Amino acid sequence: MALLRKVNQILLFLLILTVCVILYNKVHKMPSTVLKNEAVDLESPEEMEEEIPVVICAAAGRMGAAIAAISSIYSNTDSNILFYIVGLKNSIPHIRKWIENSKLKDIKFKMIEFNPMVLKGKIRPDAARPELLQPLNFVRFYLPLLIHEHEKVIYLDDDVIIQGDIQELYDTTLARGHAAAFSDDCDLPSTHEMVRSVGMQNTYMGFLDYRKQTIRDLGISPSTCTFNPGVIVANMTEWKHQRITKQLEKWMQKNVEENLYSSSLAGGVATSPMLIVFHGKYSNINPLWHIRHLGWSPDVRYSDHFLHEAKLLHWNGRYKPWDYPSVHYDLWEKWFVPDPSGTFKLIRPNS
């Protein structure tokens, strides 16, 4: 009997041990597919989705431009967009109320105040096109100082609208060692006729004064094709590593001292330093993601087919689509959201 009792105890012990092993396996050795599914359930799709930071300036007197750009981006994508809206202190309350009291109230955005004192002593007065000296034109020089949380950033001028999914632009590949991607001004044959018809400059000769020794010492051919910095895809790590902001400030300072840039012919003092600093060291944006020159003439137009194919339209130049005269303003106006305060008004032939 004693032997039988001992055998029963051993069997009971083995049974309990077997049950414990089974329970352990169920709790601690679940299939990896199940664990992954549970992990997904813990986070919402939005939290899992990469955030796309888009920087746009909102300048007093033309805030409707930024509103239309934001509206066009938000309406044409399902991506997780975070808008960084940069303005001067006195304009920020207006743009915030505009967004919060319109159909844009659901966008994700942060307001950033730009301090113009950072430009003190770095801008040479120019009577030819004083609008190009506005402080917000230089925000693109200071992207890493304004945006701290992102590796990759999109910067857009306010006089653009987006007709494609901005995720495509964000997915632009930047080559190793490149801090930014731009569109070459010679990259799209369809725009060449527009450039010739209005006498526009698309080479370094139109931006830099080659009579100056400092410019000639750069060794850049005056016939080199330029790029347009109104649309930028930037790598913040490379930008900081290469001290791009410091380089740009250096060439701003040199212009103050030596008057190196020809702003009356082309895009002014905000473009020229970028042409120097990024010469031969940038990646390319798909040409259809920056169809420009729509603001250079109130008479010269692109074909409807070409404009339909474009992903981004840019009214660079004097003739803006919220003003009159201008061309193709119907493509811009479809994205415009009226100012709830009534302060900003479109100028049209009948107004």
pLDDT for 44: 47
pLDDT for 211: 93
Residue length, the chain? 351
Token output for 127: 């009577």
Kindly tell me the burial class for residue 78, based on how many C-beta atoms sit within 10 Å of its own C-beta (0-12, 13-18, 19 or more): exposed
pLDDT for 204: 92
User: CA-CA distance, 191 to 198, in Å (whole number)?
Assistant: 11
Share of the chain above pLDDT 70, in %: 79
User: CA-CA distance, 238 to 76, in Å (whole number)?
Assistant: 29
pLDDT for 185: 86
pLDDT for 39: 28
User: CA-CA distance, 52 to 152, in Å (whole number)?
Assistant: 8
pLDDT for 143: 98
pLDDT for 107: 98
For 226-264, what is each residue's pLDDT tens digit? Answer: 999 999 999 999 999 999 999 999 999 999 999 998 755
Kindly tell me the burial class for residue 219, based on how many C-beta atoms sit within 10 Å of its own C-beta (0-12, 13-18, 19 or more): exposed
pLDDT for 34: 24
User: CA-CA distance, 260 to 277, in Å (whole number)?
Assistant: 14
Q: What are the residue ranges in the chain where pLDDT is below 50?
A: 26-47, 127, 198, 266
| Number of other residues whose CB lies within 10 A of the CB of residue 322 | 22
